[in-house]
Amino acid sequence: MKLRRRIYTLVLIALLFAALYTGLRVLYILLFTAIFLLLFVLGLNLYTIYTFRYTQLLETDRAEKGTRVTLRVNIVNETFLPLSMMEIRFALPCPGRTLDHPICVAPYSREDFELTLDLPYRGVYEVGMKEIRITDVFGLTSIRYELSKLPYYKMLRLTVLPAVPESAGAGEILDEKLFALEAGSPLASENVSSARQYQPGDPLKRVNWKVSARYGEFFVKEYDAPARESIALLIDNTYEAPPAPKKRLFRRSKKGNPGAEAERLAAKANAVCECAASLAQLSLARGRLAELYLTNAEDKEPLRASDEMKMEELLLRLAEADFTAPGSFTARLEEVALETHADALIVLSANADDAMAEELAKYTESFDSCALIAIDSAPQKVGSIGVLSLPLGAAAADLLSGEVNAR
């Protein structure tokens, strides 16, 4: 296409000089015809920008990672002129990825099409039409137009929840190698608070025989509400930017790939959140409470998951967690240790190192057990804390099935 423009420009210049040099009328006619054609296609491109109509709609605005969502797009031409050739660039629910879709709409017609969007990572994404590249049929002019410049245009918001594996209710490896907690048993922790008269339907095993013998009639035991064990999950969502490459004299510095780096960061964040969601689901299956803390968050209040409804809120908070801002993990760990009354503390991080393990080991006396789950790293075990190392490409189900490096 660039070659066509260059050739067309050279032809215009040649016609101009030939017409000036010879004064032939036919050369002037050809010159002005070529200029008129150029102005016409340029005007048609601008006309296309301001006259085409569109609608775009997501099948749903919330889905689970690993599934697919359909984006429906309608492009309408309500005028008597054909629209220029358009190449629409769509933003996808994956950092750094886009999709180009060519389209051409005849007068008084519409084009309907669907795009199937894969959801490889959890997070909140702005999807939909991002940019339009308009060209004419001759390939002489090209205009790139960003829809975000329009004051009334809004991208579609898509929330991708972390996936919870089906094996989240069978994580014996965590109980055996990391935690000193047993599965929650309400009857084991019940305390007798008082006694009341027997009523039809009360089980005989709850009869208080001593009180019944004293008063000469049946009395049954009443219990305090059992205190459920709880686990605190601390997500390290701080971000440390990689060091800038050193500038070398007389050598070109290698430019990194921002898209690849953003996707790698999304993969790490996804692994951390899926592990946290799996542990929370496992805690509920064991009869425990799960408390979620984030290192970087506008709302510092923990989210306590005690049932499936609260579990949905926990998944939503994990999806909205920002992993691109710097922060202090040490300060947040101290705050959580002072605030929570949980029996166990689990730290999940994609930036885990030996220093983080040493910092966590300082709080082993405050909890029945402490554990560090490291994504894409292998910090050394310090003291009595449990350490699990999960490769970046592994799934959260591997964490529950024991297919990880546990120390």
Which pLDDT value is given to residue 188?
37
- Could you tell me if residue 354 is left (phi over 0), alpha (psi between -120 and 50 degrees) or otherwise beta? alpha
Q: What is the mean pLDDT of each run of 10 residues along the chain (407 residues)?
A: 83 90 91 91 88 92 95 92 89 92 90 94 94 86 83 90 70 50 41 72 70 83 64 89 56 60 90 91 85 86 84 93 89 90 90 91 86 87 83 64 55
Which pLDDT value is given to residue 246?
57
CA dihedral defined by 351, 352, 355, 356, rounded to 10 degrees? 100
Which pLDDT value is given to residue 192?
55
CA distance 81 to 193: 84
Which pLDDT value is given to residue 204?
63
* 8-state DSSP, 288: -
Buried b (16+ CB within 10 A) or exposed e, 4-37: eeeebeeeeeebeeebeeeeeeebbebbeebeee
Which residues face 117 on adjacent strands? Answer: 69
Element (H, E) at 90: strand 85-91
Residues 6+ apart with CB under 8 A from 391: 376
Which pLDDT value is given to residue 205?
57
Which pLDDT value is given to residue 152?
78
Instruction: Identify the CA nearest to 282 among candidates 386, 160, 150, 178.
Output: 178
pTM over 0.75: yes
CA-angle at 91, arms to 144 and 130, nearest 5°: 30
Pairing assessment for the beta strands 344-349 and 230-236 based on DSSP bridges: parallel
Which pLDDT value is given to residue 191?
54
- 340 φ, ψ to 5°? -80, 155
Contact present, 384 and 370 (Cβ < 8 Å) = yes
Written as six digits, the tokens of 69 are 């969502």
